[in-house]
Chain A
Amino acid sequence: MVKRLGGWGLQTAAGLLAVSFVAFAIIALMPADPVAIAIRNWNLPATDETVAALRHGWGLDRPLPVRYVQWLSGFVQGDWGRSFRTGEPVRLEFMKRLPLSLFLGLSSLCLAIALALPLGFAAALKPGGIADRFSRLLSVFTQSTPAFATGLVLIWVLGAQLRWIRPFSNDGASLTLAVMLVALHSTAVLSRIYRQGLAAAMGQPWFITARAKGFSERRALWRHAHPSAFYAVLAAIHSEAGWVIGSAAAMEILFGLPGISQFLVQSISARDQMVLQAYVIVVALWMAIVGLVARLLSLRLEPRLS
């Protein structure tokens, strides 16, 4: 098991390296000269010497692969470059905003799983029943309406009409609303997957045997069908983690939450390349870590299945 995980970790690390290089190369295509930006923003004299010194200092006169290696060695040592816009180190700026974004993403994922399991279970227990129809409706709805559009309507109803929440105060209630909006899509998807997994297991001979042994349907479902269905849910979490990050970005804009996506939007018109680079890496790391956790869980759950 350790060996298998180790191999997977190595693969992920190699993948992260490749992603960071591709991102680095694409971002270098950005039609902007970092030196010109720096001179402008830090009020430096625009003499040929300054320009040449800066170009050399940042290694811009070297080929792309060399620059990439330089950036990478800096990155792993905690030097993520400097934001042109704020003049602060990018890592510090991210550390200030990351907790909020992480909270948004993690709690949405957890909430989605917590809601999807009972919903999917109830749906499988009674195909065509209320829970089944509700979860199907939810999945049709969340797949055709983006979270921010739902959010707009909810802000209007809850914030301005009913005055139950203060949508832009970044307080508990507005954050909860954002988390719920992000979680909605994953809840729908995961509950359908879970239900499908349970339904598939119900057709298996061993399930029928279990029923014949006198287990109630509910108990049999939980004892014998749940593990494999939950395994399917865990397998789907990786792609949902990607969806969650995208929705969370829209929520940061909608609710004015100072997370990393809002920071990216604010930075990009100043062509803040290092911020974009760091953003892509942070998202890739998030995906890798969620993938790792899901994998660990499924290994624990059913060592044979993987």
Chain B
Amino acid sequence: MSVTFKGRLTGALIVTMTFATALPAFAAEPLRIGATFIATGVDPAKGSNGWALTSHGVGENLFTVDKDGKLVPELAEKAERTGDLAWTITLRAGRFFSDGTPVTAEALATGFERTFANNKAALATGGKLSFTATGERTLNVTTEKPVPLIQSLFAEWPLIAYKPAAEEGKAVFSGPYEIASFNADAAIELRPNAHSEGADGRAPVMLKKFGDAQAMTLALESGELDLAFGLPSEVIARLKANPALTIKSFPVGYQYFAFLNTSRPALQDKAVRQAIDLAFDRTELAAAINGGSPATGAYAPYFPFAGKDARPTDLARAEALLEAAGWVKGADGIRARDGKPLKLLAITYPQRPDLVTMLPMAKAELARAGVVLETQVIDNISQVAAGGEFDIALWAQHTAPSGDPAFFLNSMLRSGASLNYAKYASPDFDAILDRFAATGDAAARVQIALDAQTRLFEDVPVSFLVSPVWYVGMSGTLKNYEPWGSDYHVLRADIGEGK
């Protein structure tokens, strides 16, 4: 081996090594991100895939909510009302799908039409919308019901913008990332969308699903992850002592609440639901999950349309209500009516570890009032909840994802709504919600939201429990990561760009 060749080889080696060590966050080294929820499919019109794909930075909406909860244009430039039911949306120039074609009004129109035909959750605010592309970047929209603020409608999670692909169930998106490989229930590999701005400096991402957050914590601790989103609160104290990790807490727009299934024999009785609502001790629940505050109503306390006072706990009144409803305490401390014990099935899901912690708490709290709970933790909660074979379902939901109070109420509590797991049907309540359609005035909408909540407090199809804080944990690579107030934008354009 000649000297020059040897020298060259050494030089090459040194260069390679420098390259490998100096650029940890760049193309070669994917960011490893753990979450308890990842997309279960790639069809944006199915279930909650729209939300998941946006959260992963794959898809975008026409409008979105920024870091401070403000409604801002994303793929759109502006929207103008041209009639009672008609709007014209102008798209931003210079945006491309991941296949390199420009984002046109026509492409989006076919995507939206498809979503409205297939996903009932999309119908919550404006009914069925129809779309016509009148120009390269002009999209005419006609709503079924009057919508005061179409920007907010297009920020709702079902309305992800996409171009349907030739193969049924597949689609092309415009976000900062595109899916490189998809393995349902396990992992998604993302690569930068080459046709998005700043793609060159963006690292690929390995998004891994954890069946439970406990396992995700261990993975973070053993250096397997650069970012763990949604850590269980019990481990925070220990993780904060770990110098290799950065832990951040942040208040979220999510609310923890309990659906009380109004179609079940025992819970058909409003008094029983009210009693359960009063028996929950929210201070205790918040303490059990190490953070957050007792819920004041349907919304996180920082929203203007949130209730002012924490929901009351009054065990004596709860017991009196049950007594009056004919549920009498026996010698064993369990209430019964006509020889049948007051035994309810409470379910929740492991993807939100706080809820799993709250489940035995709820059981103990209701036991004080003589109500027995059987509990179950269910992996695929939405199917089971839709099936209706439960009495109480502990739930976590972003109740103002577009910065507006209406979507949550319309999609989860209106009579016959697709996500109305409590099977709540109240014409009075629906009448209150109808007022949302009539006004775009912020103050008026606050009042409507407050009225609706008062109605819910009375009827209790849902018992609001805790306004939580969440935790993310980062390795050194991503220590500057800033979580936004939810998990609607976990991966954003800026995350993989040279930290």
Contact = CB atoms under 8 A, between A and B. Distances in A.
Please tell me whether chains A and B touch each other in their complex, using a CB distance cut-off of 8 A. yes
B341 to A, nearest CB: 20
A34 to B, nearest CB: 12
A85 B219 contact: no
B247 interface: no
Contacts of B185: 258, 266
Given A85-B380, A168-B210, A40 B222 contact: no
A293 B262 CA distance: 57
B379 A269 contact: yes
Contacts of B380: 85, 266, 269-270
A40 B387 contact: yes
A168 B218 contact: yes
B268 interface: no
Interface in A160-194: 160, 163, 165-169
A37 B184 contact: no
A159 interface: yes
B115 to A, nearest CB: 14
A265 interface: yes
A40 B383 contact: yes
Contacts of B432: none
A269 B385 CA distance: 11
Contact of B224 (A86, A166, A265, A266): A166
Contact of A165 (B212, B222, B387): B222
A160 B383 contact: no
Contacts of B40: 86
B384 A256 contact: no
B219 A166 contact: yes
A268 B218 CA distance: 26
Contacts of B216: 168
Contacts of B386: 40-41
Contacts of B210: 168, 256
Contacts of A85: 380, 383
B427 to A, nearest CB: 22
Interface residues of A, number: 25
B211 A86 contact: no
A12 to B, nearest CB: 33
A36 interface: yes
B384 A269 contact: yes
Contact of A169 (B224, B376, B378): B224
Contacts of B211: 253, 256, 262, 266
A201 to B, nearest CB: 47
Contacts of A160: 218, 221-222
A166 B222 contact: yes
B214 to A, nearest CB: 10
A263 to B, nearest CB: 8
B223 interface: yes
A270 B384 contact: yes
Nearest to B242: A160
A145 interface: no
Contacts of A43: 120
Those 5 A-B pairs whose CB atoms lie nearest each other, nearest first:
A269-B378, A166-B224, A168-B219, A159-B222, A266-B379
15 contacts: A37-B387, A40-B383, A41-B383, A85-B380, A86-B40, A159-B221, A167-B219, A167-B222, A167-B224, A168-B219, A168-B224, A169-B219, A256-B210, A258-B185, A262-B211
Given A37-B383, A159-B218, A269-B376, 7 more contacts: A155-B218, A160-B222, A165-B222, A168-B215, A169-B219, A258-B185, A266-B379
